[in-house]
Amino acid sequence: MYDALIIGGGAAGMSCALVLGSAKPKAYATHKNIGIVIHQKTSHLQTALFNNVLGLTPGTTGASILNSGKEQLSSLYPHIDQIDNEKVLEVSKKDNYFKVKTNKTIYDTKIVVIAVGYTNLMTIEGLNQYIEPHPRAAIAKDRIWLKNTDHLIEENLYVAGTLAGWRSQFAIASGSGAHVATDILTLWNGGKHTKVHDKVEV
Ligand SMILES: Cc1cc2nc3c(=O)[nH]c(=O)nc-3n(C[C@H](O)[C@H](O)[C@H](O)COP(=O)(O)OP(=O)(O)OC[C@H]3O[C@@H](n4cnc5c(N)ncnc54)[C@H](O)[C@@H]3O)c2cc1C
């Protein structure tokens, strides 16, 4: 049983995983089982080129971030399960947890974060009732969002990134994933607001 399972290994999903992973030393997070279905084939990062993102060297490719993000996650926070080569087909509610069915197996998890991007090709069963036209994209592009309030679709079911209704910019999608992570950490911390900061030792 996962405590939190992130679906999607793009900007939002990997950012969410990094922040959740970084909370390992905190008592409220140390024993949590966290996973990410790190499917990246259809990430918008595959063809993106970044010149306008603070902290990224101009000319950085999205494809390089897909690789370096996975490496950053596995080297700094190896306790996060990276589930490779699987695609999610269905998310369903069972009592007080969720079943996440992939093309290979079924995972049980208490919390789900959906971060699969805002394309209308999204075909995960069990989410159809939340799909609406994207509120901040050109109508002609036919983008979608999962209706939510502050990233929360329903109890313990979160959406992050462009699929949460944000415009498609790398920093926004990453920030959305980080935002969801701190919401989950706050939940695990008994509702007391929390964040994770590293600092330079002097
Ligand atoms: C050509 C191009 C150029 C861009 N240039 C810029 C730029 O210059 N500056 C800027 O700020 N932004 C730019 N962007 C936008 C930026 O790349 C996106 O805003 C960002 O990638 C969105 O992040 P996301 O996590 O919402 O979606 P994505 O990064 O698309 O991630 C979604 C992830 O979900 C996975 N997934 C999908 N379906 C499933 C499933 N069923 N099961 C499991 N996983 C699944 C996908 O494989 C993917 O890894 C550009 C985008 C494109 C396409």
Tokens representing 86 are 């699987």
User: How many domains does the structure of the chain reveal?
Assistant: 1
- pLDDT digit string, tens, across residues 56-105: 999 999 999 999 999 999 999 999 999 999 999 999 999 999 999 999 99
Distance CA 180, CA 92 (A): 20
Write down the pTM of the prediction: 0.98
Q: Please answer whether residues 18 and 90 qualify as being in contact, where contact means their C-beta atoms are separated by less than 8 angstroms.
A: no
Q: Is the CB of 11 under 6 A from ligand 1?
A: yes
Question: Is ligand 1 within 6 A of the CB of residue 114?
Answer: no
Establish if 200 belongs to a structural domain.
no
CATH for 30: 3.50.50.60
Assess whether the C-beta atom of 74 lies below 6 angstroms from ligand 1.
no
Residue 147 lies in a domain: yes
- Pocket of ligand 1 contains residue 69 by CB under 6 Å: no
In a domain, 197, yes or no: no
Q: Which of 38, 116, 119, 123 is the pocket-test mutation for ligand 1 (most atoms within 8 Å of CB)?
A: 116
State which residues form the domain around 159: 2-188
Task: Say which amino acid occupies 140.
Answer: A
